[in-house]
A and B are shown apart, each in its own frame.
Chain A
Amino acid sequence: MSDQGSFYQRDRSWHPLAFTPSYKTSVLRSPQHPLLSLENTISELTGPVFGHDKLGPLDNDLLRNFAKTGDPIGQRIVVYGRVLDENARPVPGALLEFWQANAGGRYRHKKETYLAAIDPNFGGCGRVITDEEGRYWFRTIKPGAYPWPNGVNDWRPAHIHFSVFGHAFAQRLITQMYFEGDPMIWQDPIVATIPDKSAIEQLVAALDRQNTLPMDALAYKFDIVLRGRRSTMFENHMEGN
């Protein structure tokens, strides 16, 4: 019932603009025409379903899913939370894919040139599907900050990238998670593409001392919100008006 209506319009003042010159790569990669507003059709209201059979047992364990000779170096953490929609309803069956640098801020990627060491026991990718209440969790190490070519001395704060599939292609989202208390969040040109401070804070995971694993791992809570749908009550208006 409530899963059938069209989606609330995306609040473009809450998202980054496309053209953000302080993040230089966006200059040539931003459309200049306004986006064409399109009322949701069946093509946007539907989306692929990913079953648990697609996943392996270590997909949500970045401590182990690439390890060759032992655990990766770094602060052991658990990241957990819920995927909700704007109506605060859980989104079960959502596929989350995440990727990150190692504890030294180095990605495992052939085009990466940062001098920090590669960790032989850390791949940096994982994925999970949310349960009936929209919950997910995974285990990893806290990624390091890293420098990147933008200004001559720009650094990314520690972050984990997230790709999210909800129930409809209109909900498709890629974003990043930051860590509570990191002063580097506020000097980052990519974070700063988001114009609203409270929108940025929505991407900052809270250190959750109550859910740390004693003598094992710290916990960070990160909820993700996807677009919400109108009630179908408002969809059944007279056609052809």
Chain B
Amino acid sequence: MVQKLRLLKESPSQTAGPYVHIGTNPNWVEITGVWQEDLGLVLVDPETKGERIIIKGRVFDGAGDPLKDALIEIWQADAEGLYNSPQEKRGKADPHFVGWGRQPADGMTGEYRFETIKPGRAPYKDGRLMAPHITVWIVARGINTGLHTRMYFSDEEAANAKCPVLARIAHKARVPTLVATRAEENGLPTYTFDIHIQGEKETVFFDI
């Protein structure tokens, strides 16, 4: 026998199930009076630095139907590319921006929607800058382990072309699955980021 290396194993994942919102968004499912407000609904306040944007989209299953029970979380840097986290050692992030958001997909249409700011660029491990991006995490009934992906921006072509993470995608035709399209809606830049869990347009998901 030799000495034991790793002490413990990570707890295995289980599906969030159809009623994840009871635990994450109780007010949204009409369990009111337990806590004041559901976490993660509001990302920006009037003093948050950066360009205000809307992100919206739907999550599609292999039959092309939108998931109406999905829960979507985002995690992103501030306008300067700094994360509001104790693990961030490069500087102090905007105190008016936590950078984490959580929204349920609409129960009728499956659309999710975040009001946030466009993030700045953060470095890859070797110091090269990654293109601006937002980490996206999806859970729902039928998803056994939460799916990690990234959203990039269609108006950042030059940065996207040099992003060391996008460069790792061997099948170049799949890169556009990570790029949200910018359009102007109600006077606000709005990015549409549809996520396809499987099928021809399957989004690139990461094992991080």
Interface residues of A (CB under 8 A from B): 3-4, 7-12, 14-18, 20, 23, 25-33, 35-50, 54-56, 58-59, 65-66, 84-88, 97-99, 107-112, 123-125, 127, 161, 163, 167-170, 172-176, 190-191, 193-194, 196, 199-200, 202-203, 224-228, 239-240
**Nearest opposing residue in chain B for A99, CB measure:** B23
Of the residues A55, A123, A203, contact of B11 by C-beta under 8 Å: A203
A36, B202: Cβ atoms closer than 8 Å: no
A39 CA / B85 CA spacing, docked (Å): 19
- CA gap between A109 and B123 in the complex, in Å: 43
Interface size on B, residues (CB 8 A): 79
| Cβ contact within 8 Å between A42 and B29 | no
For chain B, residues 1 to 20, give those with C-beta under 8 angstroms from any C-beta of chain A. 6-20
Closest to B29 in A: A109
Docked-complex contact B35 and A56, CB < 8 angstroms: yes
In the complex, chain B residues whose CB is within 8 Å of the CB of A168: 85, 87
Nearest-CB residue, chain B, relative to A101: B19
Which residues of B lie under 8 Å from residue A32 when comparing CB positions? 62, 198, 202
Chain A residues with Cβ below 8 Å from B16 are: 161, 163, 174
Assuming A31-B202, A47-B87, is B13 touching A173 (CB within 8 A)?
yes
A98-B23 contact given A29-B62, A44-B208, A46-B88, CB 8 Å threshold = yes
Q: Is the interface of A mostly helix, strand, loop or mixed?
A: loop
SS class of chain B's interface: helix, strand, loop or mixed? loop
10 contacts between A and B (CB under 8 A): A23-B15, A25-B141, A28-B198, A29-B61, A38-B165, A41-B130, A85-B8, A127-B35, A163-B16, A174-B16
A226, B6: Cα distance in complex, Å:
13
Chain B residue with the shortest CB-CB distance to A191: B14
Provide the residues of chain B in CB contact with A56, threshold 8 Å: 34-36
Kindly provide the distance from the CB of A8 to the nearest chain B CB, expressed in whole angstroms: 7
- Chain A residues closer than 8 Å to B36, beta-carbon distance: 56
Name the residue of chain B whose CB is nearest to the CB of A93.
Answer: B86
What's the minimum C-beta distance from B36 to chain A, rounded to whole angstroms? 7
Please name the residue on chain B nearest to A109 by beta carbon.
Answer: B19
- Which 10 A-B pairs give the minimum distances between C-beta atoms? A25-B142, A99-B23, A46-B85, A29-B142, A48-B100, A16-B144, A35-B207, A28-B62, A46-B83, A88-B7
